[in-house]
Structure 1
């Protein structure tokens, strides 16, 4: 069968590549659709400190290619393409991409999420001209300058610490009076003299003409507004699951995540969802890798029981 696989995996992050390793090692012909190099967003993580086996930490730029190499050695075929909607043709699932259609009786969706934007005036216009969502990529551009970070979770705190390696001052704007980040990451933020957490504050507008010159902020307790001068703004305010490709097959939850059972299987037999695209994911790297392994083994058992 042209472009036919036992299992097709959509997404080349840690969840998808782990699924690929386990599927291929179970003897399944495995195709993995990913529009970029393997690793997805983890490539931009400067230091991962909570992944088992690396007590001194490991960068995403090290972990991602190592995992991809392991997947390729196991027999995973990487398909450089942009995945589109998934449809059904009898017992088969058909994955449409900009490189053609790929058919399999089992599909594992590991398409991940996209960083959410603030949706405020000036943000879109200034994206790439001072507004960013990658401190590892763009941090070196802000040596000796004042930058802002928006958010209160792990990503925002981590990126603030990364930016402090370059910028003279980092303002971390958070709409609440306490952060959601892990305590160890919060401790790094509070211990860094370059980082100032601006509590109970939302960013309302990005200012500037050719490049970012500042932001208009509001204190949510006092309602007072003021302008803060800075040259870069890094936004980490949550994730939007990339689940549109299955919206015609499964019912999504209110946040757009894909409901699954303990085997990572959706309401459609042979269709699985792993990583932070699925409902109730912790979004921690070690758990999304576990999702991938679980789904791959479940897919193998599904194919074996259905007489592939």
Structure 2
């Protein structure tokens, strides 16, 4: 057996699980496809994480979490997990041609930005279409920008993008936002943010780069066009669980079904963070999930002896 515990995904849930497991002296490996921190690293300001009265950035918090976990012996590698299998009590984690074995697994691979699935979207990714203002906002200095969405993520993106351009238009399919009240108040106070209500993006057009979006007013059934240089899509997330189909129980939206102890239907396999069916998806709830999952995995491994 290679490891006591393998954690799949290095967001706040995975890093916290790694911290707790390593402190429990479990031989623990965390496998992350990209950089540690997950979607948290795309957040420019985190103001609701306890102990940060002046706020912090997602990148900074991710760095501190990773360093803390590594201090206690957590091992981190960067690979893509293709499949997880079980053989009796052994868990097999496949990364291409390599297979890692463990007594227990915590799945915390999070969620990915939801796409609009409209004409032109895929064609113009990295050529005007983006899902991350923190990553790409600086490329659109003094450009015409729209943000699609009406939740927390969309409003955070819009507020951040006002650093680079005079006006950001938020396109939302309803006539009111879904974002938390404090974010709504900031957006409405910001003279550089304008709103296009009751509208959806039907198509993204351009030549080499994005040039315009085609809009439909869903109440009036009117079609219009808008000249833009950048389209930032922020309409939520979808769980990264395709590689788990047929292994553990998922709900109708693809989220992992667990009990309050983060246990899935497979003994020794746990889920934590945004990938789990739950009410609230925040950094603080992800870290709590990770701590519980690690504690339960520790008990499970102890009982195998």
Whole-Å separation in 1 of the counterparts to 2:231 and 2:35: 27
Match of residue 87, structure 2, among 74, 86, 89: 89
Matching residue of 1:10: 8
3-state SS in 1 of match to 2:82: strand
Contact 1:85 1:244 in 2 (8 A): no
Contact 1:7 1:28 in 2 (8 A): yes
What is the aligned-residue RMSD (CA, Å)? 1.0
5 Å-filtered alignment, 1:288-299, equals 288-299=286-297
Partner of 1:35: 33
CA contact (8 A) 2:249 2:264 kept: no
Q: In the TM superposition, what are the counterparts of 1:186-201 in structure 2 within 5 Å?
A: 186-201=184-199
- Which runs of 5 or more structure 1 residues have no equivalent in the other structure? none
Instruction: Give the corresponding residue for 2:127.
Output: 129
- Runs of 4+ with >3 A deviation: none
- Normalised by the size of structure 1, how large is the TM-score? 0.97
Task: After TM superposition, list the pairs within 5 Å mapping 1:98-109 onto structure 2.
Answer: 98=96, 100-109=98-107
Note the C-alpha offset of 1:44: 1.8
Shift of residue 21 of structure 1?
0.2
1:221 to 219, 228, 236: 219
Offset at residue 281 of structure 1 (A): 4.6
Q: SS at the partner of 1:43?
A: helix
Shift of residue 245, structure 1, vs aligned partner: 2.2
Structure 1 residue 98, shift from structure 2 partner: 2.9
Q: Name 1:263's counterpart in structure 2.
A: 261
Give the corresponding residue for 1:183: 181
The residue that corresponds to 1:52 in the other structure is: 50
Are 1:285 and 2:295 an aligned pair?
no
Q: 1:41/1:289 Cα in 2 relative to 1: closer, same or farther (>3 Å)?
A: same
The equivalences for 1:110-125 within 5 A come to 110-125=108-123
Matched with 1:234 is 232
1:173 corresponds in structure 2 to 171
User: Normalization by structure 2: what TM-score?
Assistant: 0.98
Using the alignment, how far apart are the partners of 2:252 and 2:112 within structure 1? 17
Asked if the contact 1:139/1:167 (under 8 Å) is kept, the reply is no
**Alignment of 1:67 onto 2:65:** yes
Write out per-residue CA displacement over residues 85-115 of structure 1, whole angstroms, 9 at most, x where no aligned residue.
Answer: 1001110110001361111111000011110
Q: Point out where structure 2 has 5 or more consecutive residues left out of the alignment.
A: none
